[in-house]
Amino acid sequence: MNPIAVLSNIMLDVLRFFATFTSGNYGLAIILLTVAINLALYPLTLQSIVQMSALQRIQPKLKELQEKHKDKPDELQKKMMELYKNEKVNPFGGCLPLLLKIPFFLALFFALQSPEFKTLLTVAGANVGFLWMPSLAAPDPSIIMVCLIGITTYFSQVTMPAAQNSQTQMMTWAMPIFVAFISFSFPSGVQLYWVVSSAVAIAQQVYITRVRV
C-alpha cells in the first residue's frame, strides 16, 4: 500500500477522534491535534534546546580551535570531537524534534487534500471552514494564514538558542519568507497546523530557555 495513503488514513482517523471532542469542528480538532503532537514531543524539544544552548556556550572554544588549527583540518576535527565529548554536547542534537515533526506534517498535508477529508467536511456541514477560512481543504483566500505562518516561523527561530553569525542572521529572515511563500497553496487546515505548531514551539522555547536551561 502507498505509504502516503497510509499516513493520510492514519491522520484522518486521529482527526476524527479529536473531532469527537469538538462537536465535529475540524478546525478545533486540528488545533487539539497540533498541541497534542507538540506536548508528546516536549521531552525531545527540551533535550534539543539544552543541546543547542550548550553548543552556543562553547562557541568561543570552537572558534579558538578553528583559529589554532585552521591549517590542519584533521587535527581540528579531532580536537572538536574531544571538545564535544568533554562538554557533553551533541552537535546534531538540536535537529531531532524537527525531523520527527516532518512525518506528522506530511501526513496532515496529504490527509487534508484527500477526497476522504472533503467528505468529512461535507458531513460536518457548518464546520467546513474555521474562523474566517471558508474551507479547511482549500488555501486561505485572505492570505492571513500565510502572513501568520511567516510571523510565527520568524519568532520560532529567534526564540531558539543559536550561535549568532551572518549566516544564521540571514536564515532568520530568509526562512520565514520562504516558508510563507510555499504555504500559499497549502490547504487552510495545514496552514492552521503550521501556525499553531510554531506558536506552541515558541512558548516551549521561551519557557525552556528561561526556566530549564
Mean pLDDT of 38-56: 75
Q: pLDDT: is 96 or 57 the higher one?
A: 57
- Provide the percentage of residues in the chain whose pLDDT is more than 90: 2
Residue pLDDT, tens place only, 148-159: 998 898 888 777
Q: Indicate the average pLDDT of the chain.
A: 76
Task: Using the predicted structure, report yes or no on whether residue 47 has a pLDDT greater than 70.
Answer: yes
Confidence of residue 63 (pLDDT cuts 50, 70, 90): confident
Residue pLDDT, tens place only, 93-150: 566 666 767 777 777 778 877 777 777 777 755 567 778 888 887 888 888 888 999 8
CA distance 43 to 48: 9
Max distance between CA atoms of the chain, in angstroms, equals 68
CA distance 16 to 114: 14
Residue of 37, 15, 30 whose CA lies nearest to 145? 30
HSE toward the beta carbon, residue 104, CA cutoff 13 A: 19
The model's pTM: 0.74
Query: SS3 string of the chain?
Result: CCHHHHHHHHHHHHHHHHHCCCCCCHHHHHHHHHHHHHHHCHHHHHHHHHHHHHHHHCHHHHHHHHHHCCCCHHHHHHHHHHHHHHHCCCCCCCCHHHHHHHHHHHHHHHHCCCHHHHHHHHHHHHHCCECCECCCCCCCCCCHHHHHHHHHHHHHHHCCCCCCCHHHHHHHHHHHHHHHHHHHHCCHHHHHHHHHHHHHHHHHHHHHHHHHC
CA distance 203 to 87: 27
Task: Using the predicted structure, report yes or no on whether residue 166 has a pLDDT greater than 70.
Answer: no
Q: pLDDT: is 71 or 16 the higher one?
A: 16
Mean pLDDT of 43-70: 71
Work out how many domains the chain is built from and give that number: 1
Q: Phi, psi (5° rounding) for residue 133?
A: -85, 120
Its domain, for residue 151, covers 3-212
